Homo-oligomer: A and B are copies of this chain.
């Protein structure tokens, strides 16, 4: 059906001047110029993962222009990293107007000699959007580094609480030999299907796919079942509740067994198949962690920054006690961890590194947050997400043999195909119709558009998705 002929919900996000009206596909995607660049690039980097090479200057708003002149509506957003689309006029104006010039002449080690401007950027840009209850932030560079530092903060807090005094000489000697008994016993609980990054600490928590983990040493930490609600929720209430109860009982059992410094969970498993759980489940997890002295870490690397229609996905849970630690990266343009006062290390340099982030990316986030606020992009994303997910549900009814499990929070949405190969065929068919997208988990398609994605764009995407479905036959 022509979703664009429906009456669309009103949405506050202003249009991006000059944004294309619709995708334009001039060549097969990827096109010949992308393939020529891939051959050149592949001689010195692994270019097999590249979808298309991008024309950075011509891309605008929700539309990625590739080097073959294809104009693709971007539903993938560089793996959920695109907060305000391409070349947003306010972001470019800030660049051209000199707002970032203090970042131009060198890259600072932000723990040693931060530029004066950085203090304001953190205070306004980062603390202005801090999750409720979290009064501090550590900036780093990537999502994996955010997770590594979050669990380190939890280990420090846990060891402090267990030790109840300064480290002994024996402990200091043991740590230099990688032989710390307490630390090597400490565990972090994560969940099956979870993704928390690929450095060896973070990767010990990641339980998404063998390709991420094969042949890499891992800490013997426990992974417990993620409930993974079935949709539509109203048809699966009992089953979903039973699955959550089972998961909670295993969490409690593992916490009772001891040595658990932290539990880490994504609000929506964003790599592991867009798997959801109820606010009640997360509230119960939070309470269990508090009860057993484990830090409760919410990994918002993929969900943070507005895609769910809230700045932080966990705002939807109605937590009485906030999380202890919240990680971020992606839409935030650099990685980091928000923490509460209890997780502030007593000594300096415990959580420290050379860069501690990047002044330019931090300064850009401040501008991005101004755009989000001025243009009401969270409200807009909530409205657009409702329209998008309703459309996906409608397509599930029309194509029940192909589509199921429409789900989402804001425009952070997904739908399932019967199996991986069919999903991959649909991704390719969508690309040929001008929709840049990607998979999630074994057989889902994920939607991670920018926050300037409005009902008009969703209607265009749904129309083309339906067209792609008819091509699958």
Contact = CB atoms under 8 A, between A and B. Distances in A.
A114 B184 CA distance: 40
Interface stretch (A233-241, A279-287, A348-356): A348-356
Contacts of A177: 223
A345 B46 contact: yes
A358 interface: yes
Contact of A50 (B103, B106, B113, B219): B113
B87 A105 contact: yes
Interface string A174-200: 011111101110100000100001111
Given A45-B136, A79-B109, A142 B143 contact: no
A142 B214 contact: no
Interface stretch (A54-62, A312-320, A372-380, A392-400): A54-62
A210 B207 CA distance: 31
Interface string A196-227: 01111110100100111111111111010000
Contact of A178 (B55, B139, B220): B220
A136 B48 CA distance: 14
A354 B81 contact: yes
Nearest to A356: B45
A192 B113 CA distance: 29
A179 B41 CA distance: 36
Given A113-B52, A127-B44, A348-B46, A156 B215 contact: yes
Interface in A84-136: 85-88, 91-92, 95-96, 101-109, 111-117, 119, 122-123, 126-127, 135-136
A148 interface: yes
Nearest to A119: B41
A231 interface: no
Interface residues of A, number: 129
Contact of A218 (B41, B109, B180, B207): B180
A113 B64 contact: yes
A142 B40 CA distance: 26
Contacts of A143: 353-354
A318 to B, nearest CB: 26
Nearest to A172: B210
Contacts of A220: 178-179
A27 to B, nearest CB: 15
Given A183-B215, A200-B148, A348-B48, A104 B76 contact: no
A107 B333 contact: yes
A76 to B, nearest CB: 7
A152 B54 CA distance: 29
A44 B156 contact: no
- Nearest 6 A-B pairs (CB), nearest first? A200-B201, A87-B105, A48-B348, A178-B218, A78-B109, A159-B215
11 contacts: A40-B119, A45-B136, A54-B116, A78-B109, A87-B105, A95-B101, A144-B353, A180-B213, A183-B217, A197-B353, A198-B352
Interface of A: 37, 40-41, 43-46, 48-57, 59, 64, 66-67, 76, 78-79, 81-82, 85-88, 91-92, 95-96, 101-109, 111-117, 119, 122-123, 126-127, 135-145, 148, 151-152, 155-156, 158-160, 167, 171-172, 175-180, 182-184, 186, 192, 197-202, 204, 207, 210-221, 223, 329-330, 333, 344-345, 347-355, 358, 360-361, 364, 436, 438
